Structure 1
Amino acid sequence: MTNFEIKLLSLHEVSLWSRADGRHDNWPVVYTLDDGERIYIGESANAVTRMRQHLESEKKRELRSVRVVVGETFNKSACLDLESMLIRLAAAEGRFKVLNRNAGMSEADYYNRQLYQQIFEDIFQALKVEHGLFAKEIDEIKNLSTYKLSPFIPLVEDQCLVMSEMIHALLQKAQYRQSLTAVLLGEPGSGKTVLAIYLMKLLADVQRSGSTSDLDLQSPFGELFVDDIRYLLRSWKVRLVVPQQSLRASIKKVFQRTDGLDATWVMSPFEVGASEDFFDLLIVDETHRLSRRANQASAELNRKFAAITSKLCPDKDFEAVTQLDWIKKKSNHQILMIDPMQSVRPADLPFELQMDVVAEAKKAGTFFHLSSQMRVRAGKDYVGYVRAILSDDEPPSRLHFPDYEFRLFWEFEAMRDAIRAQDSKYGLSRLLAGFAWPWRSKKDKTAYDIVIDGCALRWNTMPTDWIESPNSVNEVGSVHTVQGYDLNYAGVIIGADLYYDENKKRIEVDRQNYFDRKGKEGNKAQGWNVSDEDLRSYVLNIYSILLTRGVIGTYLYVVDDAMRRYISRFADA
């Protein structure tokens, strides 16, 4: 479609280069500046003027190596798209520390975009092979958690609108010295975690910005980079709270390699509660996974829960305190990312409390909703379809998703082999299961946990970064290792913890075949137990989460015969 060239220059040679061709100072281009460790990626219709601006920047004048990409049919939209693609790939691969802001990262369609994107892959290959800016292939980088959790993910229109409204509400409250508790509700794959990470980077960039010369003020959040807002936020302590250990570790890795962010800014609820600092803003991802007073994972955490609660909430009923109370005591403003349908344990925030939080935000005008589906190619209808299958209100008929593979297997070995085949083809394809098997291999490394029709497998051997670990394709992950993550293909095993009662025409839970001890443990001090109906809700939520991890497709095997027959009415075989 278009020819392109990549010219390697020094920063001071750009003006000489521009005289050779009029397009060089009056044509849309994409360029990179690097010093071997740091990189800045930009676009401009006037490369010479832009380079002069960079020479005036203390940070960028040290980036001596310049590469300018010129295409015969480049236009502004295409250059913005290429710039965005290269920024995200470079940040995810991690060979360079990317110096860009993310204020201009938004998703926009334009004429012949698909054709341009084919050329972009050729440009990437040239930058990789001939210029050494990349080491991995595009598909390898796209399968990294650092790509999927990147602060440089372009926001779609729905996300931009929600982000803009949320920031406006926050700044308005801050200007009048009032507190804000905002709630962002979103289904699996709607982009809650991505929005939280994006917001952390955006606010950090605003805080340390000194000039708008590097920013297109017409970009979605360009209006934030003004003196009044910079002054308002200048000393703010903003932190991201992530309850799950695995997801928290992955986000820390992203922050560690992102300019302007710090891995210590990603905190557990316990770290927030124990901190001596008071925070201006706490953004809480997966708020539904915050804990209430319950038996924690270890005796040490039980002691910490008691100590923090006594310190922060001395006047409140000790047994009624939750980690959400800690969050509110430790911050002036809170943004809570939430989905009550993703609670998976009795220790999670009670459903009623979550609904109260949502209701209060709606009353205060600080409730926001993400409706887009950013993960599953089948679109947002798929999430509702899966939830309906696992509910008492089953779908009236089978739905088909042309761009998505939702397939039921009658033999487990065939599904295992299919997942391995998809992993060889696309990467990032994993087996997942509910807690229908005890974790024997935790103590006996030679033992197998899950044995189905002669196929023997172990639970995940890595508590963090399991998805990217070398042997994960031969293991089985749980909700605790995949909640918040994307897979290309998910092979979900519904175990004997669920069965279908054909007389009642209802999915039931089998408590004896559910082996997450914390998943069915009550609190005697508070006087509550986990009923079979409670446990059923948690188990159904777990499987709903597992069935919405796959971007390209979801495979399914069901242990219970009647349950398999029921599912076969709604999934292709």
Structure 2
Amino acid sequence: MVNRFQQHLDNPAKSELQVAEVIVDATFNKSVCLDLESYLINLSSGDDGNRTLNRNDGQVNRNYYNRSFYQARFHEIFEDLHARGIFTKSRTEIENSEMFKYSPFKALNEDQLSVVSDVMDGLADDLRHPVEGNQVAVVQGDPGTGKTIVATFLVKLLADLGSPMHGADDDNDSMFSDFFAAGIRELFRDLRTGLVVPMQDLRETLTRVFRSTPGLSPDMVLSPREVGLNDERYDLLVVDEAHRLSQFGAQSIGTLTKEFREINETLFHGERPQASQLDWIRAKSDNTVLMVDTSQTVKPIDLASSVLTALMDAERTYILHSQMRSIGGNDYIDYVKQVLSPAPPEARMDFRPYTVGLVDDPRELVRIIREKDAAHGLSRLVAGYAWDWVSKKDKEAFDIHLAHDVNLRWNSTIRDWINSPKSLEEAGSIHTVQGHDLNFTGVIFGPDLRYDLENERLYISRDDYRDRTGKRNNAMAGRNTTDDMLLEFITNIYYVMMTRGIHGTYIHVVDPGLREYLGRYFPVMG
């Protein structure tokens, strides 16, 4: 133990530490100790009163005999440390925090570790034997499989490999310890690395996480636009939510459309006037890792699923299988996808302890979500974009009008809406929750999505879908947004919303036909 303490003190990043807390339990074997270490590192990374100095070399969610018994003991240990001020927040507060959810110190499951290891092996090979042009790796995963965690973990691991503060550790048997060995880590010295995040809300969240993480910088979190405009070249760009990268086409405001053209001209000298943001990223980096889910494209301007599918067929592709968010597991995620598809499930399924069901009275839906938030935190209402955003200009107006005089406003901010003061009184759109976790979600299916009971099919009401940029044609690229395409985008939106909740989802449906259809697959709860 003394030797281990000395190893820590020999590290310049830890040489100023003055106090060591020793946890002793005669029943703890090595597996238990490593699991406890991972547990405390995870919680420490989400606690404002602590600064985590450990390098990122593979905290693992291990399975071993009687693990549930020991984990109950871990909670007791945490409570003791919390009572003595070593942790400043409660466990619930930490686990609901963005730092905990997106921390690069997060313990990975075996599935995620395998993907990170494979990506690192491929990157090391590319660095040893560089070739002309951009090398791409694609990580595909359903909602809740931890794509963002893999992305942040990978960037932190590379930062630690490039830092002189983190040397080789002979006593470390982690999955990534070999990368810290002499002769290998030199491959990763002085790499210029960035994390590209297309969605503003998630990008700002990850910027805060990087600002609070030793070894990372908020400047490492980039928008696609910043990559295109930046004169610098990158050794590696990791792209989270890559399915939300933009095609060539009209942007939200005219100046951005003009800028899009200018970036294409600068990067490709007139040879590729219709290049996409993905093309920018590949042109500005030697290596690219894309985190994708082709079922989460939600606008005509998003990269076409066919583009991502072609990449997965042609490049190194790694699949994340294990569900990390929903306690309903992969079965729930797949079930929702089927319900919102032309090939629904043959029978209703039960996902307990995950809670999912229909709430016909919107007053009850509002009550349930507020009650869940009071008990567990991070419980919010979300809705399809089937109502105009009147309150954007008229702060006293309501936007969403439901039965029984239930009136709601859209999210009053697009920045960190989930944690904003008014969020519990409002409904969030897809743009406020994609990429985020909630404990419980109340999903309002608006009149934009309907069900034809006679012909047994889902269909859309184009007039009731109020996101103008979400349904307009891409005239600049010569592509029209058909009803079939719009049906795919709208069902993807509801699919994303239905898969935000960790513990449960409550559903309110406006269209009577859709209500009857969904009633075949989800029980009525209120």
In the superposition, the TM-score normalised over structure 2's length comes to 0.96
| Aligned equivalent of 2:249 | 294
Q: Distance in 1 between matches of 2:476 and 2:62?
A: 54
One of 51, 59, 69 as aligned partner of 1:105: 59
Counterpart check, 1:407 vs 2:357: yes
| Aligned equivalent of 1:500 | 451
Q: Give the secondary-structure state (helix, strand or coil) at the position aligned to 1:555.
A: strand
| Aligned equivalent of 1:144 | 97
Percent identity (aligned):
43
One of 108, 120, 126 as aligned partner of 1:155: 108
Deviation of the 1:468 alpha carbon: 1.6
Q: Give the secondary-structure state (helix, strand or coil) at the position aligned to 2:432.
A: helix
One of 213, 219, 235 as aligned partner of 1:258: 213
Aligned AA (1:146): M
| Aligned equivalent of 1:389 | 339
CA contact (8 A) 1:243 1:290 kept: yes
CA contact (8 A) 1:408 1:571 kept: yes
Counterpart check, 1:460 vs 2:414: no
Q: Give the secondary-structure state (helix, strand or coil) at the position aligned to 2:210.
A: helix
One of 157, 164, 186 as aligned partner of 2:141: 186
Q: Distance in 2 between matches of 1:266 and 1:562?
A: 44
Q: Distance in 2 between matches of 1:127 and 1:215?
A: 29
Output aligned runs, 1:76-155, within 5 Å: 76-130=30-84, 132-155=85-108
Counterpart check, 1:164 vs 2:117: yes
Deviation of the 1:341 alpha carbon: 1.0
Counterpart check, 1:238 vs 2:188: no
Aligned AA (2:262): A
Counterpart check, 1:484 vs 2:432: no
Q: Distance in 1 between matches of 2:172 and 2:429?
A: 44
| Aligned equivalent of 1:416 | 366
CA 1:464–1:215: 2 relative to 1, 3 Å: farther
Deviation of the 1:210 alpha carbon: 5.7
Q: Give the secondary-structure state (helix, strand or coil) at the position aligned to 2:87.
A: coil
CA 1:211–1:465: 2 relative to 1, 3 Å: closer
Q: Distance in 1 between matches of 2:418 and 2:484?
A: 32
Q: Distance in 2 between matches of 1:162 and 1:428?
A: 29
| Aligned equivalent of 2:159 | 204
Aligned AA (1:379): G
Q: Distance in 2 between matches of 1:72 and 1:173?
A: 46
Q: Distance in 1 between matches of 2:268 and 2:41?
A: 44
One of 512, 521, 524 as aligned partner of 1:570: 521
Q: Distance in 2 between matches of 1:75 and 1:317?
A: 60
Q: Distance in 1 between matches of 2:471 and 2:518?
A: 25
Q: Give the secondary-structure state (helix, strand or coil) at the position aligned to 2:184.
A: helix
Output aligned runs, 1:159-558, within 5 Å: 159-178=112-131, 179-209=134-164, 212=167, 214=169, 216-318=171-273, 320-361=274-315, 366-453=316-403, 454-558=405-509
CA 1:173–1:58: 2 relative to 1, 3 Å: closer
Q: Give the secondary-structure state (helix, strand or coil) at the position aligned to 1:525.
A: helix
CA contact (8 A) 1:217 1:223 kept: no
CA 1:452–1:210: 2 relative to 1, 3 Å: closer
Deviation of the 1:71 alpha carbon: 2.2
Deviation of the 1:299 alpha carbon: 2.5
CA 1:423–1:216: 2 relative to 1, 3 Å: farther
CA contact (8 A) 2:443 2:507 kept: yes
Aligned AA (1:377): I
Cα offsets for 1:92-144 (capped at 9, x unmatched): 122222111121311101222222222222221221222x1222110111011
Q: Give the secondary-structure state (helix, strand or coil) at the position aligned to 1:261.
A: coil
CA contact (8 A) 2:168 2:177 kept: no
Counterpart check, 1:53 vs 2:7: yes
Structure 2: where are the runs of 5+ without partners?
Answer: none
Deviation of the 1:359 alpha carbon: 1.7
Deviation of the 1:55 alpha carbon: 2.9
Cα offsets for 1:305-348 (capped at 9, x unmatched): 12211101224341x21001100110001111111110000110
| Aligned equivalent of 1:19 | none
Q: Distance in 1 between matches of 2:471 and 2:151?
A: 31
Aligned AA (1:431): L
Deviation of the 1:211 alpha carbon: 5.6
Output aligned runs, 1:64-75, within 5 Å: 64-75=18-29
Cα offsets for 1:31-79 (capped at 9, x unmatched): xxxxxxxxxxxxxxx2x11122233222212111222222232222222
Structure 1: where are the runs of 5+ without partners?
Answer: 1-45
Aligned AA (2:332): Y
Q: Distance in 2 between matches of 1:358 and 1:54?
A: 42
Cα offsets for 1:168-192 (capped at 9, x unmatched): 1111121111242111111111111
CA contact (8 A) 1:216 1:222 kept: no
Deviation of the 1:543 alpha carbon: 0.4
Q: Distance in 2 between matches of 1:215 and 1:462?
A: 49
Which structure is higher in RCO with an 8 Å CA cutoff and minimum separation 6?
2
Q: Distance in 1 between matches of 2:171 and 2:213?
A: 21
CA contact (8 A) 2:117 2:176 kept: yes
Deviation of the 1:426 alpha carbon: 1.1
Aligned AA (1:520): K
Deviates more, 1:415-424 or 1:261-270: 415-424
Q: Give the secondary-structure state (helix, strand or coil) at the position aligned to 2:336.
A: helix
How many correspondences in the alignment? 521
Q: Give the secondary-structure state (helix, strand or coil) at the position aligned to 1:297.
A: coil
Cα offsets for 1:401-455 (capped at 9, x unmatched): 1221111111111111111111111111110111001101111111111121201
Deviates more, 1:207-216 or 1:352-361: 207-216
Aligned AA (2:289): I
Deviation of the 1:209 alpha carbon: 4.2
CA contact (8 A) 2:239 2:291 kept: yes
Deviation of the 1:212 alpha carbon: 4.2
Deviates more, 1:560-569 or 1:458-467: 458-467
Q: Give the secondary-structure state (helix, strand or coil) at the position aligned to 2:103.
A: coil
Q: Distance in 1 between matches of 2:414 and 2:170?
A: 40
Q: Distance in 2 between matches of 1:168 and 1:85?
A: 27
Q: Distance in 2 between matches of 1:147 and 1:52?
A: 29
Cα offsets for 1:352-402 (capped at 9, x unmatched): 2222212211xxxx1111111111111111111101111111111101112
Q: Distance in 1 between matches of 2:493 and 2:166?
A: 47
Deviation of the 1:216 alpha carbon: 4.3
Q: Distance in 1 between matches of 2:92 and 2:155?
A: 27
